[in-house]
Amino acid sequence: MRLTDLDIIVTAPPAPGWGGQYWILVKLTTDTGITGWGECYASSIGPEAMRAVITDVFSRYFLNENPENVERMFRRTFSSGFTQRPDLTVMGAFSGLEIACWDILGKDRDRPVWALLGGMMNECVRAYSYLYPMAHHDVSQFWTNAEWNAESATDLVARGYTAVKVDPAGPYTMRGGHHPALSDISMSVEFCAAIRAAVGDRADILFGTHGQFNTDGAIRLGKAIEPYNPLWYEEPIPPDNLLEFANVARAVNIPIATGERMTTKAEFGTVLRTGGASILQPALGRAGGIWEMKKTAAIAEIFNAQMAPHLYAGPIEWAANVHLAVSIPNLLIAETIETPFHDQLIKGSIRVENGYIPAPTAPGLGIDVDEDLARAHPFTGTGLHLMMQDDPCDYQNGNSFQGGAPIKN
């Protein structure tokens, strides 16, 4: 069996666009007629430029290769151009292609992907979701309204979720780490208090940030929310200095989680060795794919650390996350995004049931991709999957993180 063809679809979820402004889907075909689907979670260059990168990686390292040879294809790609170091863009391309190979292998053997990764460890996967506006909420006002967020948390708990994530501590700025404004700290405390009062001990609070703070600022905010016992404090500082995570972890009595902007076991190994994080959040469409994160999970076991696969993308990456999660012993939880478009794109083939994701049983990734739907929603914008604002933190008027930069139209 050899890989012969690549197709790339850039699809745009309808507004408000939870999961990003576009998703980069890849479809591989073998000389035996089997197709496999993957998703590249890469957002540092535009989708057309990324299309060229994916095509280059495929033509150099995947074309005419046996899809079983995941390790060989990883080492060739990781070494591309005399590198042998983490590269977000190239490894993002590799990751989606690698996921598609596993889909092919599972279909060829008539087994789900998790069965090829050591078998089933978890019959179902605990799920969490961000707090998103409900139908009666004003989207523009939701992100600074603690009462509405508590209402959204209550709704998720009523649907069986046992963990909810919130991120009120903006801004998400290209200027790097900063000290939070006092108003941001106060709003974060207000959100945690309102959500804790609403859900009690029925759900964990996952406090998300996006690397907004410098080390001292992260410690200052972390100490303020400690009384509400969050399950984790997510990516409190930028990922460009992995050693500094350890300083935050030592100072704040909340487990540190990180990983959505990291790639390969090399970067995850650094935060583990330094004690910078005890919860790893790989995005499988960027982090090196399923096999590389299976290795990372094994390394994490040595450090008594847990895995919590990240999702701010489409349902194909989610499916890959689920198969990894089913196969590992040190699973904590997996992120999910429930929108009609996510569900329709895979024809409801994997779903959250009462706060948990049952292990898929169909061959490969266990998904039925609606290719026509994906092609019917082409991306026509000019932005990136996610965008960081140019403006600095506003210390006078407050800040608002707009829920993953939702589409405005």
Find out whether the peptide bond into 180 is cis, omega within 30 degrees of 0. Answer: no
Neighbours of 190 (CB within 10 A): 17
Between the alpha carbon of residue 215 and those of residues 211, 392, 393, the distances in Å are 10, 17, 16
Going residue by residue through the chain (409 aa), what tens digit of pLDDT does each one get?
999 999 999 999 998 889 999 999 999 999 999 999 999 997 799 999 999 999 999 999 999 999 999 999 999 999 999 999 999 999 999 999 999 999 999 999 999 999 999 999 999 999 999 999 999 999 889 999 999 999 999 999 999 999 999 999 988 888 889 999 999 999 999 999 999 999 999 999 999 998 999 999 999 999 999 999 999 999 999 999 999 999 999 999 999 999 999 999 999 999 999 999 999 999 999 999 999 999 999 999 999 999 999 999 999 999 999 999 999 999 999 999 999 999 999 999 999 999 999 999 999 999 999 999 999 999 999 989 988 888 999 999 998 877 665 565 4
Domains recognised in the chain with CATH numbers: 115-364 (3.20.20.120)
Nearest 5°: phi and psi at 157? -65, -35
Neighbours of 237 (CB within 10 A): 26
d(CA 221, CA 187): 11
pTM over 0.95: yes
